[in-house]
Structure 1
Amino acid sequence: MKRRSLLKLGTMSGALAVAGRIPFAHADTGSGPIKVGVLHSLSGTMAISETSLKDTALMTFADINAKGGVMGRQIEPVVVDPASNWPLFAEKARQLLTQDKVAAVFGCWTSVSRKSVLPVFEELNGLLYYPVQYEGEEMSRNVFYTGAAPNQQAIPATEYLMSNEGGGAKRFFLLGTDYVYPRTTNKILRAFLNAKGVQDADIQEVYTPFGHSDYQTIVANIKTFSQSGKTCVISTINGDSNVPFYKELGNQGLKATDVPVVAFSVGEEELRGIDTKPLVGNLAAWNYFMSLRNPENTKFKAMFADWVKKNNLPGGSKRVTNDPMEATFVGIHMWKQAVEKAKSTDVDKVRVAMIGQEFAAPSGYTLKMDGNHHLWKPVMIGEVRADGQFNVVWRTRTTIRAQPWSPYIPGDKGKPDVVSSIPDFLRRRRVA
């Protein structure tokens, strides 16, 4: 089905349901608590990243409930643990939709988990709010993507590294976990680099399995690869493997001044248990950082700190906020606003009401939900500080419309030329 048709489905879903071409949405009882699902790994290799999203979701639901709920009704979260087991994600999603009869689900991190649950949400006409950056190449009528598409993270970060401002990288070591998101993103980036004149000999790709812990040889290979020209590492490592990777960088003395690493899946939470002093100057590309100074972020951080203390959560005062947590927070509030606009929790009505929703986010920008089910988002690049936080060194002046596709994948015809448009839409500026 063409993507244009998918967009039409987003606005015609009610008519299609009546016509019997898709399953009916869950019934809206109009009274009593509103059940919602929280679908995140609380054990296994991805727990290091996903547990905080569960905590954020529960905090946000509690705050909304304390302020009167949604249409006067309380939110009742149903939390399940797919345990970093991709087939189990689909089983838990089906349970939430058919047994618990939730109005919406907030969850998943990896693309393989999202792709595992996608057929379930499309079959049962459920709504998934997905809060993490991903490889693009998807626009489902049953998913709202509150994380970044490649043109809101990976592509501008790579161009930044190639610029004089970003160090003028000529060689690129693409290192990722072996699954959908890293491989597809790196396929896009390789084609982007080729379009910019970078030869394949100056690009190296390496993948490791989930939970991988021995990066000694890989870091040594990075050092060897970097001897032939200015090199950077683009990391799409996910989960707890980031800890041994960054520790090995420190062990082998590979500094950001020699070979900078830009990460797309490492934020404040992943660095919390690492001695970051040897990593100072390495980079991460996101749409939010905890260190941002603005009134909305001050409130967000205080709310989370209070929630951690009140519930005696592990980590206590050392807990941090990060980009996917912000995306979770924004997604829940936009769902609330859409329900209130639709005056119903009916999936088809909420889907239509979601388009155009706006929210003043902790990033300091007002984010808007586009008709392609993706948020307009800013792009930011941060440098690791000794305390595990990030100094934002570069950002876009405005939010950027997501392009959930790639003009670089063979066979993608008739798509916008992102290569030529990047200098216009980035509108770069140095941040003091």
Structure 2
Amino acid sequence: MKFTNRISCKLKLGAFLGAVSLLTSGLTHAAKEIEVGVLFSQTGGLSIVEKSLASATLMAIEEINAKGGVNGMVIKPLVEDGASDPKTFNEKVSKLVIRDKVATIFGGYTSASRKAMLPVVEKRNSLLFYPTFYEGFECSKNVVYTGAAPNQQLNNYIPWLVKNLGKKKFFIVGSNYLYPKEMAKVAKTLIEENGAEWVGDEYLALGHSEWSSMVKKIKDSGADIVLSNVVGGSIISFYREYANQGISQKDIPIASTVTSEIEVAAMGGKFAAGSYTSFPYFQAVDTEANKAFIERYRAYTKDETAVTHHAMESAYSGVYLWAKAVSKADGIKPNEIMEATKGVSFDAASGTMTVSADNLHTSMTPRIVQWNEDARGTIVDEFSAPVIPLPYAAYGETAGNLFCSESGLDSSKL
């Protein structure tokens, strides 16, 4: 009986130690991985752009993992589809944050998708890296913004258009939602400060494809330049109708804050030729770092004709900024990474990018291109150094008078 009891005890002890061993093994394995969410639209109308953001994000993760990961941890991406729908973005980010408990989410393209994710990210004290140029007017402690703020697209752009092209009458046109309207606010102030005027401020629904009436309105307005905040597929319809009605880009050029290599390639270079765009990054940046970046991206996507553009370069660079933050963080919880993100820098294809400790937006170098018939851009203006981000530029924020800082938003300044 005693012998049997001893055997029974040994069996139980062995089973217990085996279970502990399995548990420990699982914990050790888990500690060697850090899970992140990758949330972009793989389907729907916005997938034409967002697939490239997802690809750039996954490419950066693959590169970092190939070099040993971050702090000895392999980055494990959990990929979800936002389906070009804000409600879906809300549902998917909830899954990633609440169920999967990812360390960070990389995702979003439109402001509508960001606004859909924001309540979840802030309530759960998670961390979102948002890669798109956007309208500003946001001060969140849970979002790192790696795309251009309004002052990094417009503060260089409007003065250049007035001074170098001699344009004095701006017709502002956009898609009917938040980004175009907020960008128009910044633009109007800059237009007036530079001795010009705006003669129109018009909007059509997101995705609108019938532009004949609007283009005629532009022709009849007396404008000598168009500031376009039109987004998505509407860009292609707009530029083609512009040419159909015989408006010359030489006489009344379109100066866009949105039109990138993606849209120019889709519409055909002849429709964009002579027009302008302002972004911190273009495929035309003539540096060895950018040439290597383009080659790596084309090899990764297995597409020798793939184009690079600002939002996807920001998505790629955001992963590297995040990895640097993880390397110096005290742990891998979102709030620990968030704190470590402040002040990190990365030498990107567009130049040095640094996350502001004040507002978690990123300094970057403004540039302007003029598009050619071969669908390539020629850089016609470029700052010599990165410019700090001012998300509240439309409301009077300056480098010496920040509205958004580490202590939060000073709403009394609005």
TM-score of the pair, normalised by structure 1: 0.82
Q: From the superposition, tell whether residues 29 and 105 of structure 1 become closer, same or farther in structure 2 (CA, over 3 Å).
A: farther
Match status 1:126 vs 2:129: no
**Taking every aligned residue pair, what percent have the same amino acid on both sides?**
34
Matching residue of 1:193: 191
Match status 1:154 vs 2:154: yes
The answer to whether the 8 A contact 1:42-1:51 is kept is yes
- Structure 2 Cα separation of the partners of residues 234 and 334 of structure 1: 32
* SS of match in other structure, 2:155: helix
Q: 1:368 aligns with which of 320, 334, 354?
A: 354
Deviation at 1:253, TM superposition (A): 2.6
- Structure 1 Cα separation of the partners of residues 352 and 185 of structure 2: 31
Matching residue of 2:18: none
Match status 1:224 vs 2:220: yes
- Structure 1 Cα separation of the partners of residues 103 and 301 of structure 2: 27
Q: Which amino acid aligns with 2:172?
A: L
Q: 2:318 aligns with which of 303, 306, 331?
A: 331
Counterparts of residues 14-25 of structure 1 (less than 5 Å): none
1:133-159 deviation digits (Å, cap 9, x = unpaired): 111111210000111111100232122
Q: From the superposition, tell whether residues 323 and 413 of structure 1 become closer, same or farther in structure 2 (CA, over 3 Å).
A: closer
Matching residue of 2:94: 94
Matching residue of 2:81: 81
* SS of match in other structure, 2:268: coil
Deviation at 1:49, TM superposition (A): 1.6
Q: Which amino acid aligns with 2:186?
A: I
Counterparts of residues 14-413 of structure 1 (less than 5 Å): 31-163=31-163, 165=164, 167-199=165-197, 202-225=198-221, 228=222, 231-309=224-302, 316-363=303-350, 365-371=351-357, 372-406=359-393, 408-409=394-395
- Structure 1 Cα separation of the partners of residues 353 and 56 of structure 2: 18
Deviation at 1:193, TM superposition (A): 2.6
Pairwise CA RMSD:
2.1
Matching residue of 2:23: none
- Structure 1 Cα separation of the partners of residues 186 and 292 of structure 2: 37
* SS of match in other structure, 2:317: helix
Q: Which amino acid aligns with 1:341?
A: K
List runs of 5+ in structure 2 lacking aligned partners: 1-26, 403-414
Deviation at 1:288, TM superposition (A): 0.7
Q: From the superposition, tell whether residues 60 and 182 of structure 1 become closer, same or farther in structure 2 (CA, over 3 Å).
A: same
Matching residue of 1:422: none
* SS of match in other structure, 2:203: strand
1:21-69 deviation digits (Å, cap 9, x = unpaired): xxxxxx9996132111111122222222211101111111111111111
The answer to whether the 8 A contact 1:176-1:207 is kept is yes
- Structure 1 Cα separation of the partners of residues 100 and 74 of structure 2: 16
Q: From the superposition, tell whether residues 211 and 342 of structure 1 become closer, same or farther in structure 2 (CA, over 3 Å).
A: same
Indicate the larger mover: 37-46 or 142-151: 37-46
The answer to whether the 8 A contact 2:298-2:305 is kept is no
The answer to whether the 8 A contact 1:36-1:75 is kept is yes
* Pair member with larger Rg: 2
The answer to whether the 8 A contact 2:390-2:398 is kept is no
- Structure 2 Cα separation of the partners of residues 329 and 413 of structure 1: 28
Corresponding residue pairs, total: 375
List runs of 5+ in structure 1 lacking aligned partners: 1-26, 310-315, 419-432
- Structure 2 Cα separation of the partners of residues 28 and 235 of structure 1: 53
- Structure 1 Cα separation of the partners of residues 379 and 140 of structure 2: 32
- Structure 2 Cα separation of the partners of residues 122 and 210 of structure 1: 27
Q: From the superposition, tell whether residues 240 and 379 of structure 1 become closer, same or farther in structure 2 (CA, over 3 Å).
A: same
- Structure 2 Cα separation of the partners of residues 345 and 295 of structure 1: 34
- Structure 2 Cα separation of the partners of residues 359 and 345 of structure 1: 20
- Structure 2 Cα separation of the partners of residues 129 and 203 of structure 1: 37
The answer to whether the 8 A contact 2:34-2:73 is kept is yes
- Structure 1 Cα separation of the partners of residues 41 and 107 of structure 2: 9
Deviation at 1:102, TM superposition (A): 1.1
Q: From the superposition, tell whether residues 49 and 28 of structure 1 become closer, same or farther in structure 2 (CA, over 3 Å).
A: farther
Q: Which amino acid aligns with 2:102?
A: V
The answer to whether the 8 A contact 1:339-1:350 is kept is yes
